Amino acid sequence: RAFGDRQALLIDGDSRVWRFDGASWLDYGAWKSGGFSSAIDVDAQGNVWVAGVGGAAKRSVATGQWQRYRVTNTSQFDTFCDDLSLDAATGRVAVCANAGPGVGGMTIFDGARWTGFNNSTYGLGGPWPFPTDNAQAIGWRASNGGLAVNPMFNGLREWNGSAWTNLNGMTTSLGLVEDSLGRLWSLGEYFSLRYHSGGAWTEVGITAWGQRIRVDPERPGTVWAATGHELKRTDGSYAFSRGIGDFPFLSTQSDTFSGLAAAPGGVAYIGASVQLGLGGTGGALIRIDADTGAYDVWRYDQGWPFPGQTVQPLAVTPDGRVWMQYDSDFLTAQRGLCWFDGTNVGVFPAPAGGEAQWGGMPHASVAACEVRDVPGGYELWMCCKSRGIAVLTVSNPAAVTALGCDLNPAGSLVASGTPALGQSMQLLVDNPLGTQAPGALPVLALSTVSLAAPCGVPVAGWHMDPLAPSGEWLVATPLLQLKLGAAWQGAQQPVVFTVPVPDDASLIGLRVFAQGALLDPSGVGPGLALTRGLKLRIGL
């Protein structure tokens, strides 16, 4: 590379760089061992840059030292990651990775740069002192800021930012999470569930081969864990467990559980693969309440609403959706990501030919999924086999939509504004038909629970329209609020209720159901008349 006035750079066959200064050749040293360099140049500051087999390098004009750059110290270097974990405190993402035989190990993303932990970081990463090429499970710890890792077949270790500690755990882990009490839980391969506290491991026990482990979002010190044959909720002492045999529609001889997603209120979702006979396979989605033992089930052989034949729950998000990977038998192009809110289903299909498409998934197989709250919504971070990491952003703007089947008259409950975080909105209660006497008392009920969708419960006599057989009761208990307003003055003179929305980011995506009523003790009209309902989604 010639430049300037009688200046030149040269790389020889051993990757040694030379500079001609107009009079003689200066030895700038080898930027790597071995041959096959392909390019050389100099920047405006005088730093020399080279590239070739094994990456690129920069020779600092100030120090004369070479800094090597390659995928192992500048990128997410593996597209087949087995697990990832999000650090709520710092925003960092830790990912299991494999940089090749004898290299290792894992990566950490801080939002701008990838830091590699392997044996080829060239001073720009962390150490990987384990005789294995990759990590199999990984999890941030909120209690101490450490990162728990299972280098494959090499026990459980923890990185504290400067050094590795041996946690003296089992050889293999299929999932690492920390509960709300600061205890580290590990789900093993076979008959293995345990937690680490006070420097020691306590075995809790679970049946069959481990699959997924999740932290319970509400109950202190509690996790959900799943194997192919058992679903368990436990804090180490308390335990709620269900096996294949606890569901009459499943066979202990052939059917298995798959996936796991934990929701508030002691609820979890789990999938099941069901042998339908003649070699066919169907699926079931089970929603189970650990507090009551009750469960709901959606089955493929009974016309379920999901694409594909089976589903594996991945996560429950703040808007109440359960996100799932869906799949089908071989040669059936029904694979991808979907969500379910109890009524509606949304689909992000995976490409049949393996190439990503707009609106679809990079790959149908999701090895790990974590949820991160962001302003205005949330993100799903997913390990997609052979395609690296996919991040799906779901926005949650504040919204108001109708609730129910319009048995109650239009204009009886109207929203002014939207339920935006930290703001106030107004809900207006009226009897637009004027079938009650002025002076009737208005009430407004707010709840996070609605009655039987989509049309609520009809109640005879609780109506504003004398020609209607019933009113439609839409909001269920327990109530968030029951507000009493000033006396109603007559038709087209609605009573205004001001509803403040707390400035709490954890409420983003929360659905609140609203319905009003007018109580008329005069006997002129209906004693209790229900308004229409509204569904409020808290957002920005």
Instruction: Encode pLDDT of 361-382 as tens digits.
Output: 777 889 999 999 887 788 999 9
Q: Does pLDDT of 331 surpass 80?
A: no
- In percent, the amount of the chain with pLDDT more than 90 equals 77
The predicted model gives 449-464 an average pLDDT of 86
* 409: nearest Cα among 234, 498, 530, 285: 530
What's the rounded mean pLDDT across residues 152-159? 95
**19: which strand partners?**
9, 26
Confidence of residue 420 (pLDDT cuts 50, 70, 90): confident
Identify the weakest region by mean pLDDT among 11-25, 166-180, 345-359, 433-447.
345-359
> Long-range pairs for 410-418 at CB < 8 Å and ≥24 separation?
410/532, 412/464, 412/516, 412/530, 412/531, 412/532, 413/514, 413/515, 413/516, 413/531, 413/532, 413/533, 413/534, 414/494, 415/534, 415/536, 418/536, 418/539
Nearest to 119 by CA among 128, 108, 107: 128
Query: Is it the case that residue 354 has pLDDT exceeding 60?
Result: no
Q: Is the dihedral of CA 134, 136, 141, 144 positive or negative?
A: negative
Asked whether residue 44 carries a pLDDT value surpassing 50, the answer given is: yes
Type of residue numbered 33:
S
Q: Are 60 and 68 in contact (CB under 8 A)?
A: no
Residue 399's pLDDT band (cuts 50, 70, 90): confident
d(CA 336, CA 366): 9
CA 16/CA 322 separation, integer angstroms: 57
Q: Which residue has the tokens 């990651």?
A: 81
Residue percentage of the chain with pLDDT more than 70: 96
For residue 50, how far is the Cα from the chain centroid?
Answer: 41
- At residue 453, the pLDDT reads 67
The per-residue pLDDT for 334 is 84
Range 129-133 average pLDDT: 95
Checking if the pLDDT of 469 tops 60, the result is yes
505 three-state secondary structure: helix
Please provide the average confidence, as pLDDT, over all residues in the chain: 92
Q: Is pLDDT at 30 greater than 60 in this prediction? A: yes
Q: Give the number of other Cβ atoms within 10 Å of residue 463's Cβ.
A: 23
For residue 266, give the amino acid letter.
G
- pLDDT value, residue 276: 78
Asked if the model's pLDDT at residue 93 lies above 50, the reply is: yes
pLDDT score of 360: 61
Q: Which own/partner contact pairs does 298-301 have at CB distance under 8 Å and 24+ positions apart?
A: 299/249, 299/274, 300/274, 301/274, 301/276
Residue 405 pLDDT > 60: yes
* Residue 330, pLDDT score: 65
The H or E element containing residue 257 is: strand 256-263
The Cα-based distances of 72 to 124, 160, 348, 371 in angstroms read 9, 21, 31, 26
**For residue range 226-248, what is the model confidence (pLDDT) as tens digits?**
999 999 999 999 999 999 999 99
Looking at residues 199-221, what average pLDDT do you find? 95
Residue 378 CB coordination number (10 Å): 21
The mean pLDDT value for 54-80 works out to 95
Q: Which two tokens stand for residue 269?
A: 């979702």
User: 196 pLDDT exceeds 60?
Assistant: yes
CB–CB of 257/274 below 8 Å?
no
Euclidean distance between CA atoms 462 and 407, whole angstroms: 11
Beta strand residue intervals within 21-70, DSSP E = 25-30, 37-42, 48-52, 55-59, 66-69
Top-confidence residue, 329 or 338: 338
Q: Which residues pair with 239 in a beta bridge?
A: 234
* Residue 69 or 422, more confident: 69
Q: What is the pLDDT of residue 280?
A: 66
Give the C-alpha separation, 369 to 347, whole Å. Answer: 16
- The stretch 495-506 carries a mean pLDDT of 88
Say what the pLDDT of residue 358 is.
Answer: 45
Strand partners, 536: 400, 512
Check pLDDT > 50 for residue 29. yes
Token pair in block for residue 198: 């006070």
Average the pLDDT over 428-432 and give the result.
Answer: 97
Band of residue 142 on the pLDDT scale cut at 50, 70, 90: very high
Closest CA to 191 of 163, 166, 228: 228
Structure token pair of residue 528: 């209790």
pLDDT for 279: 58
Tell me what pLDDT residue 32 has: 95
